[in-house]
Structure 1
Amino acid sequence: MPRTPLRTSLDDLEVWFVTGSQTLYGEETLRQVADQSAAVAAGLSGLPVRVVWKPVLIEPDGIRRLALDANADDRVIGIIAWMHTFSPAKMWIAGLDALRKPLLHLHTQA
């Protein structure tokens, strides 16, 4: 059986940075959430893998779709999830159940 060489570069790998919120807060707040989320993702640019910012997730179907997309993409090695404003846990159940990649829940407090 031929041996597969070990990967020596992480250049082609990605971690997706996703942010949870909900429509309850209104469009202006969701724009702020997106801006702040993109800034946090950019702040993680020193990691040895590329951090890819994804749009703010505000509904169960979008969360599940993102998890399935991550599963299907061989470049994605995991997801960093940040709940910017209150994002009901129930909204995440189907997506997290579908996710087959590592998940890091980033918790911050101002």
Structure 2
Amino acid sequence: TIFDNYEVWFVIGSQHLYGPETLRQVTQHAEHVVNALNTEAKLPCKLVLKPLGTTPDEITAICRDANYDDRCAGLVVWLHTFSPAKMWINGLTMLNKPLLQFHTQFNAALPWDSIDMDFMNLNQTAHGGR
């Protein structure tokens, strides 16, 4: 198909505030989501997981790389944990590819009987998005 030569980059946003263990889990969640979407969603082109964006410089570099990669058809951005909007301004200002915000949480349901701050830090999105 026309999309065989294209890929969409899956970019996860977070910040170092949460610590290395949470960021490792965020990356695992993203790997799971990308693998599931590539396997089950019948997408027209492949989703490619990119490195976690946790600083303005990392995010800007991802957006710059997307602009210059002819295979990149656009970005899907998942702000898995709270990722301050200010970190994204430079990158998104220069981005000239389509952008889709993947606005969801990893878990389908909240574990109300065992929820704690570690769970909240790992699974929050800005303004409680699902």
TM-score, normalisation: structure 2:
0.76
> Any gaps of 5 or more consecutive residues in structure 2?
108-130
Provide the residue aligned with 1:4 in structure 2: none
| Match 2:79 to one of 80, 83, 99 | 83
Partner SS, residue 85 of structure 1: coil
Provide the residue aligned with 1:37 in structure 2: 30
| Match 2:88 to one of 80, 88, 92 | 92
Matching of residue 20 in structure 1 with residue 10 in structure 2: no
Partner SS, residue 90 of structure 2: helix
Looking at structure 2, the residues matched to 19 and 82 of structure 1 have their Cα atoms a distance apart, in angstroms, of 5
Matching of residue 60 in structure 1 with residue 53 in structure 2: no
Looking at structure 2, the residues matched to 39 and 93 of structure 1 have their Cα atoms a distance apart, in angstroms, of 28
**Residue 9 (structure 1) shift:** 2.7
Looking at structure 2, the residues matched to 38 and 65 of structure 1 have their Cα atoms a distance apart, in angstroms, of 20
Identity of aligned residues (%): 55
Higher strand fraction (1 or 2): 1
> Any gaps of 5 or more consecutive residues in structure 1?
1-7
Provide the residue aligned with 2:119 in structure 1: none
TM-score, normalisation: structure 1:
0.90
Name the amino acid aligned to 2:25: Q
Looking at structure 2, the residues matched to 38 and 97 of structure 1 have their Cα atoms a distance apart, in angstroms, of 27
Aligned residues: 103
Looking at structure 2, the residues matched to 36 and 16 of structure 1 have their Cα atoms a distance apart, in angstroms, of 16
Looking at structure 2, the residues matched to 26 and 13 of structure 1 have their Cα atoms a distance apart, in angstroms, of 34
Name the amino acid aligned to 2:74: G
